[in-house]
Chains A and B, each alone.
Chain A
Amino acid sequence: MPHGPKLLTALGLAPISIYYALLFVGSIGIFLAYSFYRFEDFDFVPAFQLGNYGDVLGSELYQTLILRTLLLALAVSVVVVTVSYTFVYLINFVFARHRALLYFLVLVSLFSGYLVRIYAWRTLLGAQGVVNEALLTIGLIDRPLRFLLNGWFAVGVALVNFMIPLAVLPLHAAMANVSPKTLEAARDLGAGPVTIFRQVLLPLTRGGIVVAFAFVFIASAADVVTPTLLGGVQAQMVGTAVQAQFGTTFDWPFGAALSFTLMAVVLAVVATFGWTMKAATR
């Protein structure tokens, strides 16, 4: 049956293709077009000019904002990929009997409330929050730690928290390439943990690492909700600035240019990471 009438196949694929073309390609296309528009008297004037990009790249404020966003996303990605990799390794080769359950537990949290999880950190990290109260009770501190909420710490912790399942997914798929027998053989041949990681694990799971890094880096760099709810005045990211352009300032063309600048830089970082990994594991 795989080669049935071509017409039927085309008919089946047509609705989804049209839908993607209109809503996905169409919306991102027009969003891109807006980034070249002019913003005059609170109206958007169709044009093709690079002024908005010039404003983004020429402003020290936005340069700093983009740089900070990238650094935070990078830190989050490194932590998330390292932690998730360790977890995936452990459930595959140390706790293999409970692999299904442990993997499932992590995946469920992928669907358990994006907004709610972020906002919960306010209860956890606030001045009268759960963490501070606990630390006060056991006497580790004598007054609440203020830096926990409304800053880079809270944004980083919340991002790491909901990005872990996103990294576990591709890493777990990649770890299926590694057979316990291969690891055993390497060990029998006298390879230490570092050699096994560099010579066996890394080359076999490279693809998964790159995908996990890409997922986490892109999603954290473009997040809007986390910095708005947990960042306070200090820890603001590009996403917050874009939202401000759409909400309060109403300069959509500038917001669009800011979004596409961020995307370009982010994709460049992801590509660089991919190449570096490829070169390192050749």
Chain B
Amino acid sequence: MPRHLGAKLFVAALLVFLFAPVVIVVMFSFNSSAELHLAGLSTRWYQDVFADPEAMQALKHSAIAAAATAVGALALGMSAALALMRVPQRLRPIALGLSALPIAVPGLMIAFGLAVLYRQLNFEQSLGLTISGHVLIALPFVLLTMSSALDRFSFSMLEAGRDLGASAPRLYWSIVLPILRPAIEGAALLAMAVSLDEFLIAFFTAGADTTLPMLIWARVVRGVDPSLNALAALLLIATTALALLAARRTRPRW
């Protein structure tokens, strides 16, 4: 019997189980039949999606939300991460732990909490409100990515720059930003992935500004729609690609 046969089977089975739903959606999105058995290869469902104004509108809303979330979360997250560099080392984990709370609290609490808050403030539901919520849940990812990059940051570079007479803005612009650029890009990509994938907050704050997950939800609830798999596959491919790119950028040591 080969070595570690049981262990190999376990790992293989786990990976198959993890990726089964993803593989199924992508497979059926290229299926030429509308039935649940595989017939032949076809891109007709993708053509349907791209010819569908509702889907294109949702795609546009999702793209806007993702971009705005990345910008918002980066602005807030970067200024916080840079300030954290100045905070004594032993206090940093506490600050990071606090900032991670929005991902520890279930989506249900955040989504309904925001719905209640915005109703109380008499804000009309719109994509802007959704973006504000997406920034909140993307911030922990941005901060964690940025701070792990800052942990590896060598302060002697700054000392050297200062000794050579560089001003504070110049130090940030010429030393800090270039070194942190991969982490910043990685954080932005993760923030976009988080926003693209988010459903519950959007559902309760976006109103008529339907996002891609909202459209998928509406069509799943309505019933069988063969172009659904293509729509879902597009979302899947976009979020996975963003996460993969983010991982390449940040090169975590796993």
Which A residues form the contact surface with B (CB < 8 A)? 1-4, 8-13, 15-16, 19-20, 23-24, 26-28, 30-31, 34, 83, 86-87, 90-91, 94-95, 99-100, 102-124, 126, 128-130, 133, 158, 161, 164-165, 172, 215, 218-219, 221-225, 229, 239, 242, 246, 252, 255-256, 259, 263
Known interface pairs A90-B10, A109-B18; A31-B113 also in contact (CB < 8 Å): yes
Shortest CB distance B177–A (Å): 15
Given contacts A99-B254, A113-B239, 9 further A-B contacts (CB under 8 A): A12-B79, A90-B11, A95-B11, A111-B197, A114-B213, A120-B25, A124-B20, A128-B35, A225-B200
Residues of A within 8 A of B89 (CB): 2
Known interface pairs A124-B24, A218-B106, A259-B108; A115-B216 also in contact (CB < 8 Å): yes
Residues of B within 8 A of A94 (CB): 4, 7
- Inter-chain CA distance A221–B105, complex, in Å, is 12
Residues of A within 8 A of B243 (CB): 108, 110-112
- Inter-chain CA distance A44–B243, complex, in Å, is 42
Q: Determine which of B86, B190, B194, B240 lies in contact with A9 in the assembled complex, contact meaning CB atoms within 8 Å.
A: B86
Q: Is B139 an interface residue (CB 8 A)?
A: yes
Shortest CB distance A177–B (Å): 16
> Would B110 and A27 count as touching, CB distance under 8 A?
yes
Dominant SS among interface residues on chain A: helix
The count of A-to-B residue pairs whose CB atoms sit within 8 angstroms is: 233
Interface centre among A27, A105, A229 (most CB of B within 10 A): A27
Specify the chain A residue showing the minimal Cβ separation from B132. A23
> Would A161 and B17 count as touching, CB distance under 8 A?
yes
> Would B83 and A12 count as touching, CB distance under 8 A?
yes
> Would B133 and A119 count as touching, CB distance under 8 A?
no
Find residues 198-254 in chain B having any chain A CB closer than 8 Å to their own CB.
198-200, 204, 213, 216-217, 220-221, 228-229, 232-233, 235-236, 239-240, 242-244, 247, 254
Which B residues form the contact surface with A (CB < 8 A)? 4, 7, 10-11, 14-15, 17-22, 24-25, 28, 35-37, 75-77, 79-80, 82-89, 95, 98-99, 101-102, 104-110, 112-117, 120, 132-133, 135-136, 139, 155, 158-159, 190, 193-194, 197-200, 204, 213, 216-217, 220-221, 228-229, 232-233, 235-236, 239-240, 242-244, 247, 254
